Amino acid sequence: MALTSIQVIAFGMIAEKIKTKELVLEYMPDTEVLLGYLYQQYPDLQHTKFSIAINKKMAVGKTAIPVGAEVALLPPFSGG
Amino acid sequence: MDRFERQYILPGFGKEAQHKLKQAKVLVIGAGGLGCPVLLYLAAAGVGTIGIVDGDMVSLSNLNRQVLFGEGDLGLNKAETAGHFLKAKYHDIKINCIPEFITTQNIKAIFSKYDLIIDGSDNFPTRYLVNDACVLLGKPLVFGAVYQNEGQVAILNGKGHNSINYRDIFPDPPTAYEIPNCNETGVLGVLPGIIGTLQAAEAIKYLTGYGVALVDKMLFYNLLSHQSYSMELSKNPDSKKGIPFSMEALEATDYAVVCGDGDSVDWEEAFSLLNKFPGGTLIDVREADEFPKLKGFKFQSVPLDLIEEKHQEWLNSELILLFCQSGVRSLKAVKMLEKHFPGKKIHSISGGIEAPDSPIYK
């Protein structure tokens, strides 16, 4: 993976909505830019709640994305 | 020698850890797909007091994953049936069966008798209620949940006052319509088996200090690929907004409404609406094998996956009321029918056949 890209991994319902578990995207500086891109590409995501982790640490609010980072999109599950 | 020898001879575990398990009082919410393995392993490990809270009855479609139950248990209460089985296996632990659903009204009294809570419930209203009560009452929570072939496990509220809770990760509850549960999307029985076993392992580690427990971390597991993903959780300033200020405020909160269940009515309202609109229709959207059945009232049985196909049948109904086991699928049916009949009076019955005011208890 090029250092000028970010790797996105998706779980549960999010993977269903974006139709893949992994995406490689052009570098984006922060989570707000990333969300804007995802909402535009996959409008369905606007109606789904999920949390974001960058390099395995949960990100809260607008958070910078380091170059080459792995970003995870994590929805809640309710089943038991 | 006793039945715990194989675990206390483990280096680093020892009789001290075994004693901690014996002293522990653990409450398991839901004796379902997650609760069954949690209960089996906690009882086998020698947790001294185990509470089982579940108001649900065993259905045929539960048996692929709820391994404490068999064909002879259909229609029986899950907490009592699970408790009976565990009591027969071991004489040296205390099992308390609470054959009720956890609610805003009983949660404080039930939680007060336990020092660790394990959530094996199957819906967001219960999960948010349990989380909020754990925060307000200062109880550590072993969280576990599944979706299709994936599962999540975490220990929340495990470090006292400044711990991470579920609302730090997901501040606002999703609607039932947004994220379906096992009854709707299907699940292989082994997945809750694995996730529930992980919850039992984390509970034992947390109680004894053996190993590194998933405190303030969440583990994701995928059954199909065996990939796991563990993330460090963070505090979220938005989490406080959703948690009631006190237990009194929690008792006055309607978690069904908080979780986007606003199209719902309770059973009393449902019957008064049916009196008002005699041309109304009451529909059970559960599968044919689910218990208990509604008796003494006129209703139709149309499983959720046929609602779309059959919707024309209700074209002339002036009112449509839908119910299921717990109010999740009926809410989904409301959304489907609202698309075909905008403006028609269509409601889900909150809490379904298992709601505290359900006619099955009268």
Contacts with A11 from chain B: Cβ below 8 Å? 150, 220, 222, 229
**What 8-state DSSP symbol labels residue B7?**
H
pLDDT at A70 (0 to 100)? 97
Q: Which of A57, A78, A80 sits opposite B234 (nearest CB)?
A: A57
B144 touches chain A (CB under 8 A): yes
Averaged pLDDT score across all residues of chain B: 92
B145 touches chain A (CB under 8 A): yes
pLDDT at B191 (0 to 100)? 98
In a domain, A36, yes or no: yes
Cα dist. B220→A78, B39, B66 in Å? 13, 21, 21
Q: Could you tell me the strand order of the sheet in which B281-284 lies? A: B264-265, B345-349, B319-323, B281-284, B300-301
Distance of CA B76 to the CA centre of its chain: 18
Query: How far apart, in whole angstroms, are the C-alpha atoms of residue B184 and residue A73?
Result: 23
pLDDT at B13 (0 to 100)? 96
B259 is catalytic: no
pLDDT at A62 (0 to 100)? 96
pLDDT at A64 (0 to 100)? 97
In a domain, A4, yes or no: no
Are A80 and B148 an interchain contact pair (Cβ–Cβ within 8 Å)? no
Q: Residue B150's closest CA among A54, A21, A65, A47?
A: A21
pLDDT at B269 (0 to 100)? 86
Q: Which parts of chain A have pLDDT scores under 70?
A: 1-3
B216 touches chain A (CB under 8 A): no
The parent domain of residue A21 ranges over 12-51+61-74
Task: Tell me the domains of chain B and their CATH numbers.
Answer: 5-255 (3.40.50.720), 264-361 (3.40.250.10)
In a domain, A7, yes or no: no
Judge contact between A11 and B151, C-beta under 8 A: no
B292: preceding bond cis by omega (within 30 degrees): yes
Q: Which parts of chain B have pLDDT scores under 50?
A: none
Tell me whether 0.85 is exceeded by the ipTM: yes
pLDDT at B303 (0 to 100)? 96
Query: How far apart, in whole angstroms, are the C-alpha atoms of residue B41 and residue B75?
Result: 25
Least CA distance to B32: which residue of chain A?
Answer: A80
How many structural domains is chain A composed of? 1
pLDDT at B277 (0 to 100)? 85
In a domain, A22, yes or no: yes
pLDDT at B335 (0 to 100)? 82
Judge contact between B117 and B155, C-beta under 8 A: no
pLDDT at A72 (0 to 100)? 98
pLDDT at B318 (0 to 100)? 85
